[in-house]
Amino acid sequence: MFRKAIFGGTFDPIHNGHINIAFEALEKLNLDEIIFMPSGDPPHKADKIITDGFFRLEMTRMVVECNEKFTVSDYEIKKKGKSYTYETMKYFNDKYKDTQWFFIAGLDSLMYIHEWAKPEKIFENCKVIILVRSGFKNHEVMERKEKIEKAYGTEIILLDIPRLDISSTDIRERLKEDRYCGHLMPRDVEHFTKSVGLYKCER
């Protein structure tokens, strides 16, 4: 059975922090594939302006070329309506029967996943990987993890990763001011954003 993970996000733009997470998950969890999933119309960001999916998808495709176990999916970009994690994971679980699925999420997701649409369906179709920085220990987090595991009959994986303090918001601001970002994101992605004029206007 294959072990594959969905790594979702707006990726607006994708940067070295995202790539670092993917490499760490691939190695530490012995995964066969990580699928980068640029979000379509995420309900939790309804009040924010997000770059058109075409451009976010193109930037993500540039990144996955760095590792043969990285791929990208346009499922949520092409999907009509809001993008819900439970629908995404059910789609992949139904389509690929010979695969154990994982979903990579940030620490905030652990604290609020009970507020997501149909969280029980998420846990039915995958194991959730929660990112925490190396050496991080917090009793509230551990209590929350145990409470969710008990409530939904699941196992949540805490993945320790080195912290890279990189922000898509900061990168967008730097690109708007035409400042160098090559140390924060792949150069191909940086060149792409400048060639098409992304992030030059007010958001």
SS3 37: strand
**Residue 134: its pLDDT value, please?**
64
CA–CA distances in Å: residue 96 to residues 1, 4, 72, 132 = 10, 10, 16, 29
**Residue 200: its pLDDT value, please?**
84
**Residue 104: its pLDDT value, please?**
97
Q: Average pLDDT by consecutive 10-residue portion of the chain (203 residues)?
A: 96 96 96 96 67 95 93 94 92 94 92 92 96 76 93 94 89 94 94 92 58
Q: What is the per-residue pLDDT across 78-127, written as a single tens digit (0 to 9) for each? A: 988 888 999 999 999 999 989 999 999 998 888 889 899 999 999 999 99
| Cα 155 from Cα 174, distance rounded (Å) | 40
- Domains of the chain: residue spans and CATH: 2-166 (3.40.50.620)
Q: Which residues of 132-153 are buried (b: 16+ CB within 10 A; e: fewer)?
A: beeeeeeeebeebbeebeeebe
SS3 93: helix
Dihedral sign (CA 114, 143, 24, 21): positive
SS3 100: strand
**Residue 97: its pLDDT value, please?**
87
CA–CA distances in Å: residue 62 to residues 7, 22, 67 = 16, 14, 11
Does residue 157 contact residue 102 with C-beta atoms inside 8 Å? Answer: yes
SS3 105: strand
* Maximum C-alpha span of the chain: 50
**Residue 123: its pLDDT value, please?**
97
Look up the pTM and report it. Answer: 0.92
| Cα 2 from Cα 121, distance rounded (Å) | 21
Length of the chain, in residues: 203
Helix 53-64 × helix 187-195 angle, to 10°: 150
Measured in whole angstroms, the distance separating CA 120 from the mean position of its chain's CA atoms is 20
**Residue 175: its pLDDT value, please?**
94
